[in-house]
Structure 1
Amino acid sequence: MTDTGGAGVRAAIGEMGRILGPHADADWTVLAGTLEWSCWTTAAHVAHDLLAYAGQLAGRPADGYLPFDLRVSPTATPAQVLTVVVACGGLLATAVDAADPGVRAWHFGPCDPAGFAAMGVAETLLHTHDITRGLRVDWQPPAAPAAAVLTRLFPDAPPGPPAEVLLWMTGRAEFDGRPRRTSWTWQAALT
């Protein structure tokens, strides 16, 4: 995956399933990396954000988030939560593919379809990383989608291996002698 369009979103959710699916029987109540959420809650959060981004893009609000929310049943198994992620990611990918590139919807300002796709890829890859830390699975985001996310959401990112830079830009790791960041933000809105 080298883009942040619908294909990029599908590839990211496919990667999440490929990496986490074999560990669906593990204890997902453990914390996801350095987050204060469990692995289960983190996966449900990914589904929530993917659906929210799809809704924004389809509804095209100009000044805020649509007043709806996703609730994943607390009795859902990790495998079922991953299926919800696939469904919500599919909705986002479809919304991105269907939208004209000139469409704008609100995410802290006007955001284009590529921006929503990039956020979906970022949420999926970064939280997959968090969950793998919690489940003690060795994994880093693939270089190509990490580079695409950096290009679209982090224009001030330093040069370096894309996965390492992305993890540093989002406060998940140290990088090249730089301490782990304690605050960060991405720029999805167009200026």
Structure 2
Amino acid sequence: MDHQDVRAALAELRLTLAPHLEADWSVPAGGLEWSCRETLAHIGHDLLAYAGQLVARPADRYLPFDLTVRPDADPAATLQISLACGELLAVALAAADPGLRAWHWGPTDPSGFAAMGVAEILLHTHDIATGLGLGRTPPPGLCAAVLARLFPDAPAGDPAAVLLWCTGRGELPGLERRTSWGWKAALPS
């Protein structure tokens, strides 16, 4: 995965959420404890963190910085922040050498950071859409790419349904719903 995938996921985020900025964003985002607005701010937080990791290339830790989205930021401003942070990740990915490694619970390559960024965008856009009652499903092509990079042991099936199941957000026939999960972004040593 790469910067183009991040930009495609950002386009999906904008397409899904921008028409609904006047909705009540204080409601919970899907099954999360966060509100829809807090979840959108979280997307920006993670995308900026991934960009920082790629640029600084720490080998053994996360950089000690954080994004603060002010509590009075409305959904429109919060969307702009998340889109800006996503573009920062895309720019960092476009400039990154494929052999680069940076910390995400182990040495992670640019494709791993791209996959995590896309996953954060797709999954939390789904959470927000669920909270707002939009009923939007993540795009299957991007879901398939995320599954291939972060969930190599994922079961076969519709990529969106499988990604939601892998992350505890959905059910698959014959499989128990996940209550805990993790992705595999770090490369083997």
Deviation of 1:161 after TM superposition, in Å, equals: 0.5
Partner of 2:66: 69
Report the equivalent of 1:184.
181
Deviation at 1:180, TM superposition (A): 1.6
Per-residue deviation, residues 58-88 of structure 1 (Å, max 9, x unmatched) = 0000000001100011111101111111100
Mapped partners of 1:186, 1:176: distance in 2: 21
**1:142-164 CA distance string (max 9 Å, x none):** 00000000000000001101000
What displacement does 1:14 show? 1.0
CA-to-aligned-CA distance 1:30-66 (integer Å, 9 cap, x gap): 0000001000000000000000000000000000000
Instruction: Give the corresponding residue for 2:108.
Output: 111
> Counterpart in 1 of 2:10?
13
CA-CA distance at 1:177 after TM superposition: 2.6
User: Any runs of at least 4 consecutive aligned residues in structure 1 with deviations exceeding 4 A, and if so which?
Assistant: none
SS of alignment partner, residue 86 of structure 2: helix
Given the alignment of the two structures, is residue 145 of structure 1 paired with residue 168 of structure 2, yes or no? Answer: no
Distance 1:171 1:124 in 2: 16
CA distance in 2, matches of 1:72, 1:180: 33
Per the alignment, residue 170 of structure 2 pairs with: 173
Task: State the Cα distance separating 1:8 from its structure 2 match.
Answer: 0.5
Counterpart in the other structure of 1:40: 37
Mapped partners of 1:44, 1:11: distance in 2: 19
TM-score, normalised via structure 2 length: 0.98
Report the Cα distance in structure 2 between the residues aligned to 1:161 and 1:169, rounded to whole angstroms: 12
Q: How does 1:61-140 map to 2 (within 5 A)?
A: 61-140=58-137
Identity, % of aligned positions: 64
Equivalents in 2 of 1:26, 1:178: separation in Å?
A: 35
Amino acid across the alignment from 2:77: Q
Q: After superposition, give the CA deviation of every residue in 1:103-148 in whole Å (9 maximum; x if it has no partner).
A: 0000000000000000000000000000011000011110000000
Counterpart of 1:186, as a letter, is: W
Task: Number of aligned residue pairs: give it.
Answer: 188
SS at 1:61 equivalent: coil
d(CA) in 2 for partners of 1:149, 1:44: 21
Segments of 5+ residues of structure 2 without an aligned counterpart are none
Write the distance in 2 (CA, Å) between the matches of 1:180 and 1:123: 20
TM-score (norm 1): 0.97
Which AA in structure 2 matches 1:73? R
**Unaligned regions of 5+ residues in structure 1, if any?**
none
